[in-house]
Structure 1
């Protein structure tokens, strides 16, 4: 009996071995590699591809080269003819060089002007008893929700030849227009008044966190208030100011909506030139060169923004709480209140002008429309309902991709210190939308992954471009979740992947919800990616507004623009409510 029992005990059990093999698979690692492959296919390879094209001057098919010997041979032949010819032409002057110089001058000028404009407002918010702070704070958010091509249209309606501001100016004895809106001046005006919130809030934070005791010491030693402001207050706020300068530069340099509407034919700007090269002439050599330059410049200033505060120690805060005395001088607070009101009034007037245009029967040369109607809204709901539905579907598709990918990325970064994955996911922050669009068109324009002209590629582009917003929203929530909750689920028999999805995932819902609305909002008003990649049968609302503006149909464009802004406002309000509730 014993030998028989022994033989029975050592009989192999294939099913059990198979189960143990499957149990040994780390499915979370599989998900991690899948997400890495997603970014490599749809971000890294397109950027690498467009970089190579800048040397070859003709398109190459990296994916086709991997599966087709003939395409591979063609790619090798084109690579053998690569040269620095196009870069030498850029360095030698000409259209591309002037476009780069004009864009750099525009961005630097806007950065400096925005900082100078925001300094008094930031000081008023942080260091004075200026009245209406909450109201001004809410109004300062308005410029961020308006797509730049819509704000450009509003400025045209105000300061153009038939604008109501121009009408007032001429009634007061002025001749012609105050300034030509289709010029560098017009572009600067739009970017200053609709980008300033990007710089304002970091500067407010910088003024609030600096140690006020150093300023009090300066005053106690006999320094006048303006000397203390110049040599103590401003240097203490310098990190926030410099960071704001670099941020505004990057935003201005990458802006597509304003220049494409307002730049005259003789003003070369790099984003407009890149769009014209690919959309008008299919000049891959020129488009790729400009794309590479855009990515390098944006990347350089993004890197400088991260680096700027590392070399010096600006620390002034200690563990001792300090009561900050606010400036309650009536003259100072009155001047700051009036100044802040003027600054926030211009974007509001621009938005109000677009609204009036959307309900006007006709509006020629005069302060107000000749009549009012809701016909334009009825028209867009009857004729453009498909475009509204397209916007919702495309934004929802991008949202689903962003939620799934960003949630797992946050998990891997916090739990497994996936630094490389975090870096890959942050790359879209330094890639202008027009550059990403050109790179995706070149990469997916031929088999085996012929996705150009499809809604799929548009959804992926939206998701990649806005992914960093979702990641930053979910990262903080992920950090607040203790690891022992997840470990308890694993100890009870759940796999790490199941524990992450069923235990960690629900706990991340507040961050996911806030990030989801942010992604949805930014996708709804996205311009550059939409203009390049949206197929005609999937045209969203933003593309309809853009095309209507180019045709000069300001009535329909204004009605659709107001609809976009209302959607954005509602979603922003929901996001704020969710974020507020998640704090309690």
Structure 2
């Protein structure tokens, strides 16, 4: 028994070692570089005496003055200010825009509700980088929406898509589902009896909403706004595609510092500031949910009576249709562009072709294969590590591992990418530029998704199952691997699809770390957009979206089939 108990202990040590080497040490290295202004090889210092001496000498000169001098540079201050403004606008607009739709879905008999719910989910599967490319197709100087505007008597463009306005629009319309669905949940759990009482007392129209429902759902609304602020602040896809050279954004500036100038100190300072801001807003979100809950005391549960006011329901349906129209048109524009040979300043392409797909499925098919292989590698790590971590956290109350695995939720992708590049750029482990390090970066960034998907399944498995296996002679390790893990199958399946889908959509780590021989689809789309190859980018984007949608449908069907209630 002792030997088998040690097997689980060895697994736990291996997991801690993995996170120490590929997460904690790289993040600590970022802090050291930001304080010294010079690269630091902390991992190498453990094995190499000369490196240890060099690092200690640099640490002796470390000071917050170096950090402050760097962070107060005008370009960095401007980048931080612009990013805060951008995230504030995105959070404000998405919250106000999504609130009526969320109320309509949760509390009204809005017509075409199921169709609108599906359309509201579509932007989730579209990377913001693809959405940004679609906006260029529509609203660029040669875009079809611009051509329509000019035919109607307009002059120039509707707006400059390569601007703060364009970035805000891309984020608002392709990130709003992250605000919408938490709001829907908040409106559904808010006690409906209060709203019913208000209507029974004569309140009509939107009065019950503002006086009864909204105050009860307010913690969820505020939490959603804080969440989208953090996401928008660190989003890389839309910013890198649409930001003009004279618009400094902190995520773009960090990328330029490391990719263009190899300025380790500047890049480290910027990503530390990014991480601090994101962590602060995630902390505020938890504080709002934990300390600002509103509830009611009732003797029995209230049945949700959907608001059937024809004027309200029809108005919400029209409004919701208008909101989902833009992302739908963007996706359709990308689809049409992928079949176009020439499409400039007209409502429809002048010439059609299949050449772009021939190119994608020809020499460009390597990018598709690379995406699948890299995604599978990251998924394998997440499956193995995630199952054991879930077990340790929920059975052994390992709060340390629980905290450790929440760190990637806070650290922006570009921060993790820079940390890994900086840490493994020299011996003893020279992994920068390898597919292995890219897979590890993917896995660390998406592992929390696997853990959240398996947590509910683990909590539903009673201790008696494991004890029964042990009483029949199975070791603890055997009981866990042959009894507990198979029961986690539904959660593992859901988590696997979520991990795989988000990995093949990943932009920031990919752009920073993908080696030339292992460039996935997301990197090729980024490269094509920057080269102005909008046709090739469109074909790859369509293929990426199709793969993501198919995987989500497979997950939905399989998880339904594996449901214990089925």
Query: Which TM-score tier does this pair reach, normalised by the shorter chain?
Result: over 0.9
| Residues 1:232 and 2:204 are matched in the alignment | no
Residue deviations 1:20-59, cap 9 Å, x none?
A: 8646x52112111211111111111111110111001111
Residue deviations 1:151-207, cap 9 Å, x none?
A: 100001000000000000000000000100000000000111001101111111111
| Residues 1:539 and 2:503 are matched in the alignment | no
| Residues 1:354 and 2:334 are matched in the alignment | yes
| Residues 1:291 and 2:261 are matched in the alignment | no
State the alpha-carbon separation in 2 of the partners of residues 369 and 514 from structure 1: 40
Residue deviations 1:315-338, cap 9 Å, x none?
A: 236562212222211111111111
Aligned equivalent of 1:479: 459
Shift of 1:581: 2.6
Aligned equivalent of 2:189: 209
Aligned equivalent of 2:419: 439
State the alpha-carbon separation in 1 of the partners of residues 391 and 340 from structure 2: 51
Shift of 1:372: 1.6
State the alpha-carbon separation in 2 of the partners of residues 555 and 388 from structure 1: 17
Within 5 Å, give how 1:499-538 maps onto structure 2: 499-538=479-518
Residue deviations 1:456-494, cap 9 Å, x none?
A: 100000000000001111111111112111112112221
- Aligned mate of 2:283, from 290, 294, 303: 303
- Aligned mate of 1:577, from 550, 553, 557: 557
| Residues 1:96 and 2:76 are matched in the alignment | yes
Aligned equivalent of 2:173: 193
Aligned equivalent of 1:118: 98
Shift of 1:224: 5.0
State the alpha-carbon separation in 1 of the partners of residues 101 and 282 from structure 2: 25
SS in 2 for 1:264: coil
Shift of 1:545: 0.8
- Aligned mate of 1:417, from 377, 380, 397: 397
| Residues 1:276 and 2:267 are matched in the alignment | no
SS in 1 for 2:497: helix
State the alpha-carbon separation in 2 of the partners of residues 341 and 222 from structure 1: 30
- Aligned mate of 2:295, from 305, 315, 321: 315
State the alpha-carbon separation in 1 of the partners of residues 194 and 275 from structure 2: 41
Q: Is the 8 A contact 1:211 1:317 kept in 2?
A: no
Residue deviations 1:375-411, cap 9 Å, x none?
A: 1101111111221111111110000000000011111
Residue deviations 1:340-398, cap 9 Å, x none?
A: 01111111110010011100011111011112221110111111122111111111000
State the alpha-carbon separation in 2 of the partners of residues 500 and 27 from structure 1: 11
- Aligned mate of 1:549, from 511, 529, 532: 529
State the alpha-carbon separation in 2 of the partners of residues 387 and 322 from structure 1: 53
State the alpha-carbon separation in 1 of the partners of residues 3 and 125 from structure 2: 49
- Aligned mate of 2:373, from 373, 393, 400: 393
State the alpha-carbon separation in 2 of the partners of residues 580 and 329 from structure 1: 34
State the alpha-carbon separation in 1 of the partners of residues 153 and 512 from structure 2: 44
Which one is further off, 183-192 or 133-142? 133-142
TM-score normalised by structure 1 residue count: 0.94
State the alpha-carbon separation in 2 of the partners of residues 222 and 416 from structure 1: 55
Within 5 Å, give how 1:327-406 maps onto structure 2: 327-406=307-386
- Aligned mate of 2:156, from 176, 182, 188: 176
Within 5 Å, give how 1:107-186 maps onto structure 2: 107-186=87-166
Q: Is the 8 A contact 1:86 1:285 kept in 2?
A: no
TM-score normalised by structure 2 residue count: 0.97
| Structure having the higher Rg | 1
Shift of 1:86: 3.8
